Amino acid sequence: MSTIGDVAKRAGVSAMTVSRVINNSGYISQETRERVEQAIAELGYVPNALARSLRFKQTKTLALVLTDITNPFFTTIARGVEDTASEQGFSVIFCNTDESKDDESEYLNVLVQKQVDGVLLVPAASSPASVAFLHERGVPFVVLDRRIPGVSVDTVRCDTDQGAYQLVCHLLDLGHRRIAILSGPAAVTTAADRVSGYRRALAEAGIREEAVYYGGFTVEGGYQMARQALAVTPRPTALFAANNFIAIGALRALHEAGLRVPEDMSVVAFDDLPPAFVIAPFLTVVGQPAYDMGCQATLLLLDRLAGKGDGEPQEIILPTELIVRRSSAPPCDPTP
Amino acid sequence: MSTIGDVAKRAGVSAMTVSRVINNSGYISQETRERVEQAIAELGYVPNALARSLRFKQTKTLALVLTDITNPFFTTIARGVEDTASEQGFSVIFCNTDESKDDESEYLNVLVQKQVDGVLLVPAASSPASVAFLHERGVPFVVLDRRIPGVSVDTVRCDTDQGAYQLVCHLLDLGHRRIAILSGPAAVTTAADRVSGYRRALAEAGIREEAVYYGGFTVEGGYQMARQALAVTPRPTALFAANNFIAIGALRALHEAGLRVPEDMSVVAFDDLPPAFVIAPFLTVVGQPAYDMGCQATLLLLDRLAGKGDGEPQEIILPTELIVRRSSAPPCDPTP
DNA sequence: CTGTGATAAGTTATGGTTAACATGTTACCG
DNA sequence: CGGTAACATGTTAACCATAACTTATCACAG
């Protein structure tokens, strides 16, 4: 790999002159410019962004730290982030934490070392450790999708409490009274908030019975929780899955138990599956504007980098959308 | 952000001594080490990887350039890449080209500027331009999933010709004679190779009629191609979708046309959908070991970085696996 | 013909880290 | 007590690009 010095030597000028040609700054005679440009072409010279960044203290790189890159919800966020960032000349480094707090802090450490200009963080845990780490080192960041209780930071997320409330109200309207919620890890705010929306809806309807399960935001977690829920007598008439993977796990358990949806059991879920993965959409869901979440979070972060805004932490809460499909219906008969 | 100099000042030593503490090199008295470590902790000092990389000409960063990050096939590859890379202390930058040649070359330019140590490339086009660009600049790379005709480079891919052959043979065994292939962009080798496997199987069975469609590797592409295929008289009795998204588009078109699978039409596809997205697997497919492809490609690349191997370009071809499910059955009646 | 401003280049210093070399101290051996 | 290892720390230069400053030439006005 050739350096600016090699180009300079070949063109018979100083490195500074080459720099001026590259950056179109200062005065350059037409003749010199051509000689330099030819040397650049001949050597296939590409400026070293490391050296540039070292001087300018700017890497034009953001990082997106998320918990599960195989989940289309997050992939969609990622696209929003990438599209917005690259429009403004920023690259994005993706990091997958698998919901592990340790992986998260290790990644953050590497990212700070690599001098990323800013971080978009879907925190694996509700602890303020990661946020404090970034704050202490002066790295701008935006928290995505989840809350971190007790600290006031820039956040972009959905109103998941309200979304859960809508879904449960929909089930109540259909006549369901025994509704189980299959939620995510209790320590994750989105899981907790969905439970709280669920409770609020039940309370308003004057229903005391609740059935709350916590597990992983995974197919396996959904499968296990559904089996537990089905073992209770009397059996619930509806299941509320707190994300798309949990829903798939639950549907698998129902299939195995020979229960039809929605005839024997209604199922509703948080997070839609992207249309690309589904032949004929079937699940009643509350969809989140994932792509838009990615865009907005990136815009907010880029604003911070540019020193815009009054410095007050901003919380952008996007609305969810209830999409009623065929997986929810009135309860049929109150068996077992 | 504090520098090694700040730490040195605070600990009352030189920068070099701090460097020695960090890297555990040379001689350091216990007392000094403690003073330095305390200063590091107090300042929250994190070494600047930019400066380090500039000196060592090593960024410990790889890039994965692929064509569609929303496709679970590529997401799975990405996980294989990330897991393998991070095990060896390498970070990965993901770039999504959307099958655009221009986006691809722009990304490669940025990546070379950022001095990535190596590139894993799923080429958007069969042209050798990108490969030549990297080669000229001395950046090690491995081509993933696709071939680039006419050049000899390190490659990790599947035997897609053979996989297509297997799928079509499976359909022939079931008794199908009119089989249409819905393939990807003609310029992409995986699309072309699948067509060639299809032709080989038909030729061996002595069948002259073929129905080849080219389109995007997308749901929309699959939908359009399926509609074209269905408009032909007599209608094919089986469709062969060249990837998972095409299959979903085709199934949607069949659903719309009121045709049942497999009763009225058999459907087989390349690429399995990850179990996490499917409630009850249904499609007969040829699966590719995507995760393993990512791992092997990364290992090969890391070997190259370490100067291992005899320098001869290596082509690793992984086997595909035929998984027969319910979407393929003997042809029913030769309607229209 | 002196002074001034535009044009066209080069020189120096900077950014953070560390290898190589240089310097200084202590301890132990003969 | 001189010599020499082992230990402990500091100084310099290099990695590459570029801002700020400096030098040099030329044209033209006064």
Q: What is the pLDDT of residues B142-154, one digit of tens each?
A: 999 999 999 999 9
Predicted pLDDT at A335: 47
- Tell me the sheet residues that pair with A182: A213, A241
Is the Cβ pair A279, B76 closer than 8 Å?
Answer: no
B326 touches chain A (CB under 8 A): no
Q: Is the CB of A207 under 7 A from strand C?
A: no
Q: Which secondary structure element, helix H or strand E, spans residue B121, and what is its range?
A: strand B118-121
- What pLDDT score was predicted for residue A252? 95
Contact A70, A86 (CB under 8 A): no
Rounded CA gap, A63 and B95, in Å?
Answer: 13
Residue B207 token pair = 């069948």
Which residue has tokens 């005839």? Answer: A263
Q: Global pTM? A: 0.92
Q: Give the helix/strand (H/E) hosting B122.
A: none
B276: DSSP letter? G
- Amino acid sitting at position B206: G
Q: What is the pLDDT, as a whole number, of residue A333?
A: 61
Candidates B36, B43, B42, B86; CA nearest to B62 is B86
Q: What is the end-to-end Cα distance of chain B in Å, rounded? A: 74
Alpha carbons A332 and A323: distance in angstroms, whole number: 22
A54 contact B CB<8A:
yes
CA distance A3 to chain B (A): 11
Which residue pairs from A9-15 have beta carbons closer than 8 angstroms and sit at least 24 positions apart in sequence?
A10/A39, A10/A42, A10/A43, A11/A35, A11/A36, A11/A38, A11/A39
Question: Does residue B336 carry a pLDDT above 50?
Answer: no
Which band of pLDDT confidence, cut at 50, 70 and 90, is reported for residue A145? very high
Q: CA A35 → C1' C4, Å? A: 31
- B243-296: pLDDT as tens digits: 999 999 999 999 999 999 999 999 999 999 888 888 888 999 999 999 999 999
pLDDT confidence of residue A69: 87
Is the backbone of residue A44 left (phi > 0), alpha (psi -120 to 50) or beta?
left
- Check residue A332 and give its pLDDT: 79
Binned at pLDDT 50, 70 and 90, residue A88 comes out as: very high
Q: Are A165 and A200 in contact (CB under 8 A)?
A: yes
For A104, the token pair is 């998260």
Looking only at the bridges linking them, the beta strands covering B321-323 and A155-158 are unpaired
> For A261-286, how does the pLDDT look when each residue is reduced to its tens digit (9 = 90+)?
999 999 999 999 888 888 888 999 99
HSE, CB side, 13 Å, CA atoms: give it for residue B326: 6
CA separation (Å) from A201 to A159, A194, A215, A326? 15, 11, 22, 22
The answer to whether the C-beta of B15 is closer than 7 A to strand C is yes
pLDDT of residue B5: 95
Return the number of other C-beta atoms located less than 10 Å from residue A200's C-beta. Answer: 16
Q: Does B115 touch chain A (CB under 8 A)?
A: yes
Record the tokens describing residue B165, joined without a space. 């052959």
Q: How far is A16 from chain B (nearest CA, A)?
A: 19
Phi first, then psi: give them for residue B250, nearest 5 degrees: -65, -45
Does the pLDDT of residue A334 top 60, yes or no?
Answer: no
User: What is residue A97's three-state secondary structure?
Assistant: coil
Report the Cα A117 to chain-centroid distance in Å: 19
**pLDDT for position B160:** 95
E strand segments, chain A: 61-66, 91-96, 118-121, 141-144, 155-158, 179-183, 211-214, 238-241, 266-270, 284-287, 315-318, 321-323
Mutual orientation of helices B72-87 and B290-305 as an angle, nearest 10°? 40
Mean pLDDT of chain A, nearest integer: 94
Q: For residues B59 and B114, is the Cβ–Cβ distance under 8 A?
A: yes
**A87-122 burial by CB neighbour count: b if 16+ within 10 A, else e?**
eeebbbbbbbbebebebbbebbebbbbbbbbbbbbb
| Phi-psi map region of A99: left, alpha, beta (phi>0 left; psi -120 to 50 alpha) | left
The confidence score (pLDDT) of residue B59 equals 97
Residues B35 and B115: their CA atoms lie apart, in Å, by 35
For residue A167, CA distances in Å to A195, A204, A242, B106, B277 come to 12, 14, 10, 44, 22
Query: CA B32 – C1' C27 distance (Å)?
Result: 20
Residues A221-236 have pLDDT tens digits of 999 999 999 999 999 9
Give φ, ψ of B261 to 5 degrees.
-115, 125
Instruction: Give the separation between CA A230 and CA A63, rounded to whole angstroms.
Output: 42
pLDDT in tens, B189-247: 999 999 999 999 999 999 999 999 999 999 999 999 999 999 999 999 999 999 999 99
CA A316, CA A297: separation in Å to the nearest integer? 8
For chain A positions 201-230, those within 8 Å of chain B (CB to CB) are 218-219
Domains and CATH numbers, chain B: 4-47 (1.10.260.40), 58-157+289-316 (3.40.50.2300), 160-288 (3.40.50.2300)
Q: Single out the residue of A333, A324, A162 nearest to residue A260, CA to CA.
A: A333
Residues 50-79 of A with CB under 7 A from strand C: 51, 54-55, 57
pLDDT at B311: 77
Residue that the structure tokens 């994965």 belong to: B64
Per-residue model confidence as pLDDT tens digits over B89-133:
999 999 999 999 999 999 999 999 999 999 999 999 899 999 999
Using the predicted structure, report yes or no on whether residue B140 has a pLDDT greater than 50.
yes
Strands A315-318 and B61-66: unpaired
Burial class (CB in 10 A: 0-12, 13-18, 19+), B225: buried
Token pair recorded at residue A278: 């589904």
Which residues surround strand D, with CB < 7 Å? A 1, 3-5, 15-16, 19, 22-23, 25, 47-48, 51-52, 54-55; B 12-17, 20, 26-32, 51, 54-55, 57
User: Tell me, what's the pLDDT at A6?
Assistant: 95
Terminal-residue alpha carbon distance, chain A: 73
Residue A49 makes CB contacts below 8 A (sequence gap 6+) with: A59, A60, B110, B113, B114, B115
> Residue B175, by phi and psi: left (phi above 0), alpha (psi -120 to 50) or beta?
left
CA distance linking residue A117 with residue A119, whole number of Å: 7
Q: Answer yes or no: do A248 and B277 touch at CB < 8 A.
A: yes
Q: Which residues have a Cβ under 8 Å from the Cβ of A57 and sit 6 or more positions away?
A: A115
Q: Is the distance from CB of A248 to CB of A257 less than 8 angstroms?
A: no
What per-residue confidence (pLDDT) applies to A275?
A: 82
Token pair for residue A272? 């839609």
The 8-class DSSP code of residue B82 comes to: H
pLDDT tens track for A30-71 = 999 999 999 999 999 999 999 999 999 999 999 999 999 889
Is it the case that residue A336 has pLDDT exceeding 90?
Answer: no
Average pLDDT over every residue of A162-182: 97
> How many Cβ atoms sit within 10 Å of the Cβ of residue B206?
6
Q: In 3D, which of A185, A63, A60, A187 has the Cα closest to residue A121?
A: A63
**Are B65 and B97 spatial neighbours (Cβ–Cβ below 8 Å)?**
yes
Across the interface, of A46, A61, A136, the residue whose CB is closest to B137 is A46
Mean pLDDT of all residues belonging to chain B = 94
The backbone torsions φ and ψ at residue B244, rounded to the nearest 5 degrees and listed phi first, read -65, -40
- What does the DSSP assignment read for A231-271? TSSSPPSEEEESSHHHHHHHHHHHHHTT--TTTT-EEEEES
d(C-alpha B242, C-alpha B146), whole Å: 14
* CA gap B122, B157 in Å, rounded: 10
